[in-house]
Amino acid sequence: MNKMIRIGTRKSALAMVQTELVAETLKGVQPGLLVETVTKVTEGDRILNKPLLEFGGKGVFVTEFEQALLKGEIDFAVHSAKDLPMDLEDGLGIVAVPPREDPRDVLMTPAGTDLSAKKEIVIGTSSLRRRLQIEALGKKLWPGSAVRCEDIRGNIQTRIRKMDEGLYDAIILAAAGLKRMKMVNPPADSLEEYFETNGTYDFHYFDCETFIPAGGQGILAVEGRIEDRTCELAVRIQDEEAKTCLILERKILKLLEAGCHEPIGVYSRIRDEQIEVFGINRRDGETKRVYLTGGTGELDLLAERAAKGLR
């Protein structure tokens, strides 16, 4: 086993933190391992004035790293699993899935903000999935107010700054990113609805049944060359439960031919050796939800049933 590996990552603060988490875990299973971080700017990082669906979708955060892997410039690339396209380049694959972080979505507002006092609530999100769910949920949360979603791009800090400047009343972010950046600290033993404040901002965590996450949300995917011996190292940091859930969620998305052009949410979790699946999709003006359970050895069947229910 090589004593030096190179891991590719985007330059954002969150991407660097996520890559460092993987690097430290790898060092923990391979004493003496040296890790070099190789940063790259992706097309998704360069184009911030357009929604992703206008210029390529999920692949815009991945292509540069896949080319670097194929050329042997890096050994692994660390991605947020929800950013990965369904089809990876030939010879490449997800070679490790560490434990899943908090999969919930979080509505973030300036501390003390009473959204119900506003006639119109402007929420920053570029996700069609989040837009679909917050507009529906808003009718219950703020009955006398209209919810309007506006596109927002950029890293966590950029999005918060835009909210602080008054461009948005609230923004929706992934709990996993906020936790990895140490901006929030909810109880670790619960994934239910939860409210938290740090005095500057308020955070409303939605439970995953009410507000269904994106497929792979909260999961890091380590991509590598599937025939390379370095994969033997990556496998040692694998979390089988997170891997199983990611496989199922990606199977469903692939069957739905899902990209960035449809509001699709898929989330799974394992309880008592059973896997639960939650899904939401809107096509042809109709919103559909599914909830299924099955054995962890029935992933193909569950994926087919879920996809059928969401079509």
Q: State residue 237 phi and psi, 5-degree precision.
A: -105, 10
- Strand 120-124 to strand 170-174: parallel, antiparallel, or no bridges (unpaired)? parallel
What residue has token string 């703020």? 142
Residue 177 has what DSSP assignment?
H
Q: Determine the Cα–Cα distance for residues 196 and 184; give it in Å rounded to an integer.
A: 8
* CA dihedral for 265, 56, 63, 177, sign (positive or negative): negative
The residues carrying an active-site annotation are 83
**What is the C-alpha to C-alpha distance for residues 58 and 38, in angstroms, rounded to an integer?**
21
d(CA 147, CA 139): 8
* Sheet containing 146-150, strands listed edge to edge, beginning at the edge strand earlier in sequence: 146-150, 120-124, 170-174, 105-110, 201-205, 194-197
Name the amino acid, one letter, at 213. P
Q: Are strands 201-205 and 146-150 parallel, antiparallel or unpaired?
A: unpaired
